[in-house]
Amino acid sequence: MIHGKNIVWHDTNIKQEDREALLQQKSVVLWFTGLSGSGKSTIANAVEKRLAALGRLTYLLDGDNVRHGLNKDLGFGVSDRVENIRRIAEVCKLFLDAGIITLTAFISPLAADRENARQLMGDRFIEVFVDCSLKACESRDPKGLYKKARAGEIKDFTGIDSPYEKPVNPEIVIISDKQSIEDCVDDIINYLLAQGHFKDVTL
């Protein structure tokens, strides 16, 4: 919903395709989704590092980092978590227009929220399902969140007392408790190459 009757979209002279031509890349959003502790941020960081080495302009949006600024007014109730993802999707759309390869690392547990993001970005949205068993995620527990959730100190924690809706048809599936980080990165980079997001690079 647009609040206000006098808001009109202003078209600019420089378009997305102009920025992409300048950067010699096709902008895209790599949307990493998976349980807490599945390795989303770790793998997204590794992918971004590889892309930077290949001379690609990128930006990584991490769930915790975004909540320090843009979304610091949001809590962790259902409606706030939906709004959190909605805002991120809108930011991603802006980065697409800027010609940037954008990576996100958010649990984004609800299929409807991810579908809304896909509808907003169309074929530039690439869902990367970081598949990892709950047992493996809980054994890692890098932030101690599972321990707190099991103790009842955190309510509505995804995977414990709040559901995670697995992607049905993601573009990329990586199994982080069975694949090495390097293999996960290779799978993602090879997908981008196959889809023509950039060319003339050496892995």
Q: Which residues are annotated as a binding site for ATP?
A: 34-41
Measured distance CA(173)–CA(67) in Å, rounded: 26
Mention every residue, 6+ apart, whose C-beta is less than 8 A from residue 66: 84, 88
Measured distance CA(28)–CA(76) in Å, rounded: 28
CB atoms within 10 A of CB 153: 11
108 is catalytic: yes
| Candidate list 27, 79, 108, 133, residue with the active-site label | 108
Mention every residue, 6+ apart, whose C-beta is less than 8 A from residue 119: none
Measured distance CA(34)–CA(56) in Å, rounded: 25
Question: What's the length of the chain?
Answer: 203
Which residues belong to the active site? 108
